[in-house]
Every structure is written in C-alpha cells, then in structure tokens.
C-alpha cells in the first residue's frame, strides 16, 4: 500500500504466523545511522494470520536504539478488543475501524495522532486531500468535521463506547482472552493447529486454523456458508486454501462462539476432515463451564 503511494519502504518479511520481528527491526534501525527512516509501521493484530504483534516490545526496540522514527500502528482488529495503550506505548499514529471491536457497521475510519505525528505532517510531501489531518484540525474545534459525516455511525459509536465502558475495558480484554482460549481448546480437540505457533503471538480477536494436508480450506468456508449459514474467513494470499478463520471480537459471548465452532465442525466433516462430531466444541464447553464467573443469585438479577 505504501509502495503504491510511491513511498520508499523496507518490508521486514517473516514467516506467516509470526509477529513483528524485533531483532530484525533493531538491526535495520541501528544500520540507519543517519536516522533517515521516518516511520516504523506495525500491524498490531494481523487479521490474515491470527497474530498479535508485541507493540510495547517494538517500542522498546526503537527506544533502546534511540531512533526518532514515528511508530505507526494498524489497530483495526485490536483496538477495543485487546489491550492498547496509545500514550503509554508512545504510539504516534493508530488507526482502527467501526466494524470490528466497536461492533457497528463499516464506515468509520478512526485515527489517533500524537503531537509528534502532527508535527511531522507539516513537512510531509505526499499529495493528499480527503486524508489530510489539517482539515480535521481546522474544523474540529467548532464541533465540526470537514466533510459530511455519517451521523448514524457517530451515534452508534457513542452507544458502542458506552457499552464498552459499562463492561470495563479490563473485563472486555478478559472476555476476548476467554473466547480465544475456548477457540484454541476446540482446535486442540480437533487435533489441528493454529497458523500462529508461538503462544506469545496468538491473537485473542480471531483464530486462524490450518486444515490438514489435502483438504482445501476454501471448501470448508464455502460449505459453512452454503449449508450452515455461517461466515468463516477464508485463507488469503500465501495461506489461501490452507487455513480458515473464526473471528471472535466485539459484542460476542461464549454461546455465539460455540455456535461457530459447531458449524466449523460440520463443515470440516463435510469437507473430508477426519474429526469426530463434538470433538472440538466439547473442549470449548468444558473450558467455558469451568472458568465461568461465580453465578449471580437470582436476587442480584432482579433489582
């Protein structure tokens, strides 16, 4: 994407299923003795592979070398679901969307910029109109925006943020971990593996599952949709046909995920994966039941 904008970019390639490689980053930053690298761009949670990179560690790597590059983070499938500390981690630009952890329709692109990033904007040379921060900064103080906004989505976002706050962000993160653990137990139950192998990087917002050799994962996704009314994510690019994805972020609970796990089982059996019915979902049920919070009394429910 940045290359298409004519930017000079060094991509740190790594195995699909791994997170951002801090060692390689350190190497590159150290070699940049003239401090010409302007920004380090990281995807916090990679939706294609089910990998959550370690942003604090990336930050620390940059700090240790004392490199002044901006830290740009794609938080599309993380912010609102996983822990994300813009200020503490000294992120410079973070972006997210309305359609993931905020659980509202697609349509809002949300950007947060540090003072340092806004400063950099002043000397930035990329031609831009719609995406220019300056127009936003000029119109926001009077309660306005430069272009016609989508009011329904703004009202929706207000409601969504209210719900997240009522639950408490720590509880939100704990709920996402719990859902992800349930999904991972199911994968174990099936005798399969997630694309992400290193526990440090396993994502809590989605789980990407490898189908066994010889089974086209696309078939699993197609059957789930056509027979069971279930939308699984397909394998993209390098992992096309090799993995399918179960998203579990946003306004979601255990039984919704169980429903998806049941559907995934049925579709896999249809597609020829050798698993026993219930082999995965039973593990999730067991995990969810054993780790559920203390049961509130009926009295506490009727106010």
Using DSSP's 3-state secondary structure scheme, residue 54 falls into coil
Beta bridge partners of 96: 110
Using DSSP's 3-state secondary structure scheme, residue 233 falls into strand
Name the residue nearer to its own copies (CB basis): 56 or 152: 152
CB count within 10 Å of CB 113 equals 21
Binding mask 3-42 for its own copies (x = CB under 8 A): -xxx------------------------------------
Instruction: List strand residue ranges (DSSP E) for 129-220, in order.
Output: 193-194, 206-210
295 binds its own copies (CB under 8 A): yes
For residues 106 and 83, is the Cβ–Cβ distance under 8 A? no
Radius of gyration of the chain (CA): 21
Nearest distance, CB of residue 178 and its own copies, angstroms: 12
For residues 45 and 203, is the Cβ–Cβ distance under 8 A? yes
Nearest distance, CB of residue 302 and its own copies, angstroms: 4
1 binds its own copies (CB under 8 A): yes
Candidates 80, 97, 233, 250: give the one binding its own copies (CB under 8 A). Answer: 97
Distance between CA 287 and CA 163 in Å, rounded?
Answer: 26
Give the pair of three-digit tokens for residue 290: 């054993």
Name the residue nearer to its own copies (CB basis): 11 or 295: 295
Q: How many residues bind its own copies (CB under 8 A)?
A: 62
Contacts of 95 (CB under 8 A, 6+ apart): 73, 74, 75, 76, 109, 110, 111, 112
Candidates 9, 111, 137, 276: give the one binding its own copies (CB under 8 A). Answer: 276
Candidates 206, 228, 245, 273: give the one binding its own copies (CB under 8 A). Answer: 228
Distance between CA 140 and CA 171 in Å, rounded?
Answer: 32
Tell me which stretch binds its own copies (CB under 8 A): 18-26, 50-58, 238-246, 251-259: 251-259
Nearest distance, CB of residue 68 and its own copies, angstroms: 26
Name the residue nearer to its own copies (CB basis): 114 or 279: 279
72 binds its own copies (CB under 8 A): no
Using DSSP's 3-state secondary structure scheme, residue 283 falls into helix
Tell me which stretch binds its own copies (CB under 8 A): 14-22, 159-167, 241-249, 258-266: 258-266
Residues in 142-201 at the binding interface with its own copies, rule: CB under 8 A: 142-143, 148-153
Residue 184: burial class (beta carbons within 10 Å; 0-12, 13-18, 19+): buried
Residue that has been written with the tokens 């930017």 in this structure:
7
Nearest distance, CB of residue 256 and its own copies, angstroms: 7
Q: Which residues bind its own copies (CB under 8 A)?
A: 1, 4-6, 97, 99, 105-107, 126-129, 132, 142-143, 148-153, 222-223, 225-230, 253-256, 258-260, 262-263, 265-266, 269-270, 276-279, 281-283, 285-286, 288-289, 292-293, 295-296, 298, 301-303
């Amino acid at each position: 994407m940045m290359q298409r904008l004519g930017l000079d970019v060094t991509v740190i390639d790594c195995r699909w299923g791994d997170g951002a490689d801090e060692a390689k980053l350190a190497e590159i930053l150290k070699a940049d003795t003239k401090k010409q690298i302007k920004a380090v761009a990281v995807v916090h949670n990679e939706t294609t592979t089910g990998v959550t990179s370690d942003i604090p560690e990336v930050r620390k790597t940059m700090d240790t070398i004392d490199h002044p590059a901006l830290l740009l983070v794609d938080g599309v499938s993380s912010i609102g679901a996983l822990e994300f500390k813009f200020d503490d981690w000294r992120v410079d630009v973070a972006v997210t969307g309305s359609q993931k952890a905020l659980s509202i329709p697609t349509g809002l692109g949300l950007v947060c910029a540090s003072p340092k990033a806004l400063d950099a904007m002043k000397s930035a040379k990329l031609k831009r109109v719609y995406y220019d921060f300056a127009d936003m900064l000029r119109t926001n103080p009077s309660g306005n925006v430069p272009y016609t906004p989508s009011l329904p989505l703004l009202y929706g976002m207000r409601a969504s943020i209210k719900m997240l706050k009522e639950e408490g962000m720590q509880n939100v993160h704990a709920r996402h971990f719990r859902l992800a653990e349930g999904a991972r137990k199911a994968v174990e139950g099936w005798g399969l593996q997630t694309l992400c192998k290193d526990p440090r990087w396993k994502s809590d917002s989605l789980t990407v599952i490898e189908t066994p050799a010889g089974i086209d994962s696309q078939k699993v996704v197609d059957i789930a949709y056509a027979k069971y009314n279930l939308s699984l994510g397909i394998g993209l690019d390098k992992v096309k046909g090799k993995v399918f994805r179960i998203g579990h972020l946003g306004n979601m609970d255990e039984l919704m995920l169980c429903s998806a796990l049941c559907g995934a089982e049925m579709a896999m059996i249809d597609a020829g994966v050798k698993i026993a019915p219930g082999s995965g979902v039973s593990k999730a049920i067991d995990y969810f039941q054993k780790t559920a919070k203390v049961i509130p009394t009926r009295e506490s429910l009727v106010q």
